[in-house]
């Protein structure tokens, strides 16, 4: 009887997408997960991510929504049904990418204040 090769038997040059089941059955997966569990993100990266999420949700996403809703295009160029239905999801994705990919000054300022507040230092709110 011929048995099918397992994912571990395939050559590493062959690009086969691995499902979560295959990854969970792979004994090396546990080792890599255990190694990753030891590496904790720094407080600076956590504060920056929290600040980016805050700015994304509270500032950029509502601005994009307002811009999208103010579209007064004529019939062939007007937003379609799918654009109206899923526009909010696109706004959320764009807002997240805008605040995470660039050095957004407000994100840096909020992250700095979060870190200073966590350290118990006085924060100068004027700049």
84, two tokens = 């109206």
Tell me, yes or no, if the pTM score tops 0.85: no
Domain ranges of the chain: 43-119
Q: At what angle do helices 43-55 and 81-101 cross, to 10 degrees?
A: 150
Q: Which range has the worst mean pLDDT, 4-8, 50-54, 57-61, 65-69?
A: 4-8
Q: Is the pLDDT of residue 13 over 50?
A: no
Round to whole Å and give the CA distance between 52 and 113: 13
For the beta carbon of residue 29, count every other beta carbon within 10 angstroms.
14
The answer to whether residues 113 and 123 touch, using CB atoms and an 8 Å cutoff, is: yes
């Amino acid at each position: 009887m011929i048995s099918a090769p397992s994912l571990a038997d395939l050559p590493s040059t062959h690009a086969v997408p691995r499902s979560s089941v295959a990854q969970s059955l792979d004994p090396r997966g546990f080792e890599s997960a255990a190694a990753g569990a030891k590496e904790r993100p720094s407080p600076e990266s956590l504060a920056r991510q929290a600040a980016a999420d805050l700015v994304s949700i509270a500032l950029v996403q509502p601005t994009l929504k307002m811009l999208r809703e103010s579209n007064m295009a004529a019939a062939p160029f007007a937003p379609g049904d799918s654009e109206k239905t899923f526009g909010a999801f696109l706004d959320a994705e764009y807002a997240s990418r805008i605040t995470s990919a660039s050095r957004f000054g407000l994100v840096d300022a909020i992250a700095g204040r979060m870190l200073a507040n966590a350290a118990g230092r006085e924060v100068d709110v004027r700049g």
